[in-house]
Amino acid sequence: MNPSFATVIAAALIASMADAQNDCDGDLSDFDAVYCSQKLAVQADKNLNAVYRKLVTALTVSARGT
């Protein structure tokens, strides 16, 4: 059984947030909190794009709708 698109995306986002969160634990200044939030968002976006590219390549032409 193939995982659903939402499941794959959720797993990628959770994994990316867990990796990036390691540097952002503890008491942070406002600047550091914003920096860490941005860092998490950038990493999640990179992982989401990587998963999306894999998914698109795995889909057949008819499944892509093109």
Predicted pLDDT at 28: 87
Walk along the chain (66 residues) and give the pLDDT tens digit of each residue. 456 766 766 666 566 555 545 678 888 899 999 999 999 999 999 999 999 999 888 887 667 665
Residue 62 lies in a domain: no
Predicted pLDDT at 24: 81
Task: From 24, 55, 26, select the one nearest 41 (Cα to Cα).
Answer: 24
Look up the pTM and report it: 0.56
What's the number of domains the chain is made of? Answer: 1
CB atoms within 10 A of CB 16: 21
Residue 66 lies in a domain: no
Residue 39 lies in a domain: yes
Cβ atoms 23, 36 nearer than 8 A: yes
Alpha-carbon span 7 to 51, nearest angstrom: 11
Domain residues for the domain of 45 are 5-57
Predicted pLDDT at 1: 43
Cβ atoms 39, 23 nearer than 8 A: yes
Residue 33 lies in a domain: yes
